[in-house]
Structure 1
Amino acid sequence: MAHVTVVGGGVIGLLAARELRAAGLDVSVLDRGQIGRESSWAGSGILSPLHPWRQPDAVQPLSLWSQRAYPDLAATLAAESGIDPQLHVSGLLLPECPDAHVARAWASRWQVPLEELDAAAMRRAEPALAPHAGGLLLPQVAQVRNPRLMRALRIALQKAGVVFEEQHEVLGFVQRNDRIVALDTGHGRRSVDVLLVAAGAWSGELLRACGLDLPIQPVRGQILALKTEPGLIRHVVLAEDHYLVPRRDGLLLVGSTVEHSGFDKTPSPGAAVTLRAAAARLVPTLAGTPQVAHWAGLRPGSPDGTPYIGRHPQIENVYVSAGHYRSGLTLAPASAALVSALITARQSPVDGAAYCLDRPAVV
């Protein structure tokens, strides 16, 4: 039986590990830190690209397939782990969307429900929202409480026999002919049968060490959490490139920044001011709402948000699933299905041609 070593314990790596284990392979997951504590933990949990009609065509099949898969996945993980990921179909509301005509064409092409709301309908949908002349609603967009999802995944995978090795940073690769035969880690050398690199923002650096130069760079995003009354906001609200994500218990996430700051995850006071101001413009009563948390995470940025999913062009036992940028959580189920199908030589539910590692660079 083949053994797969997954480098990266985020949602991309863990869902791939789940698929591979279900296919009968032995799987170990190595992470440079703690399992599930990087971008997958730090994100907002919105299960849709923020403006899906502004995404490349290649992102759409992964996104739509994954969105269909999430309800069963969340229910199964809750049953297996005892932790409810709190998937909730809250809808995505966009006040006064400037490219509504593009959104309508996209929705028609991909057969996605989309509603146009006038000012009165906007007020009924979100009474606390500042007045707007109208907007768009994607009623089927869901959200998940991503820290709970990651805990549920970890427990379910442990029960299934997946081995986790935390604080195992990969320092180098041992190559023999056209195969990686071992990894050098902070805990010594370990042999490799099949290797899957799903290390998020760190994937680019790792892959360059084994001869593959992919344009994956860390992009910092900061989020605030405010404490509100449950039900104050009912939808995910997206405007001015900022968003509000209401949790069931009244926690309200306000995001997010896009910063090219290397691997620095330090939250900044300036970002907090910007996010609080954006929240107050959307919902005036939030101006004095208590802030309960402020954090930052590193997205695995790629040139246009299209991930890299496939086998290394020169090394036969190395596979990659990385570069999902701001949509990792959204695209994870389909990405996992695709990369596991490549590793096991099975039929994939998604055509992988658009994600190959040697595709032309976006300029």
Structure 2
Amino acid sequence: MNIFNRLTPRYITLIFSFMTILLLFTQNPIDNTVDSFDDSIFQVSCSCKSCVMGFMDDDWFIYRYDPSITPLLNRKNSVLRRDTYRWWRGLQPSMFRINYTEVVDQMFSLFPDKEHYSDAGPDRCRTCAVVGNSANLLGSHYGSLIDFHDVVIRINKGPTKGYERDVGSKTTHRILYPESAMDLDNSTHLVLFPFKIRDMQWLISTFTTRHITRTYTRVKPSIKADENKVMVLHPAFIKYVYEKWLLKHGRYPSTGFITIIFAMHICDQVNVFGFGASSTGTWHHYFDRTRTHYKGGPHGGDFENKTIHQLQQRNKISIYKGYR
């Protein structure tokens, strides 16, 4: 007679339970370890040769980089947390009571009110050139290389005319604020970095009444630009850069440093030009003799400089310094 015919259901259940436990203990422990990881962090996140978000296995980078944060402001995401609003308002205290919500509503009745750059994925390869204003660009012959990028971001008043061989002629985005405003052509996005609510008011004014002529200094009441290409950096993004990337060094981040982090959030591959000293160790603009230095001003310049080089060492950005 078959032995199973003599066993009661209770004994059959015990035998199968024992066999199941035995199988679990004899499985390869390495397989269990591999299954516990999220394989998606090792997947290529874009189609470029190297991607900002590729191989997210670097704890230093993962701690700082928040892929969920929105770089640009619109009506839908404009509500600020109380701590964000307090910190941002504290950068430039205003003598006037200004209703932030009303300013935002007025701003996006004039300018595009939409979510930008939400198309990231494994099939996208958007290359970004961040072009600073350092004298190390002079004689670099980087012009054609810079222009080859999909996105060319220039900062403040850095000109191209007369410097095309070294800095290129293409500009897709110009970072500015009232004190650094300049005229733009119709192919360029105006990207306002609002360090204060007054900056948003100035942006509205420059396309409408043109009545704002001062912030903490005299500013241009109007500029030439395409109102359909206006973008506004989110105040929470400035705070994110300050807290997560600069660990609160300095009072607030510099425009150049914010621009690099901004580029890392809208592009898949980021190359940086025109940052740092010239080959002789001098710090000045390529277009004038205005002296600059990363340790000056209210920014944590030394910490910013070290962080930028950390990004290069970790293959998140490439820095072109203009000389060997």
Length-normalised TM-score, structure 1: 0.25
Length-normalised TM-score, structure 2: 0.27
Task: Name the one with the larger strand percent.
Answer: 1
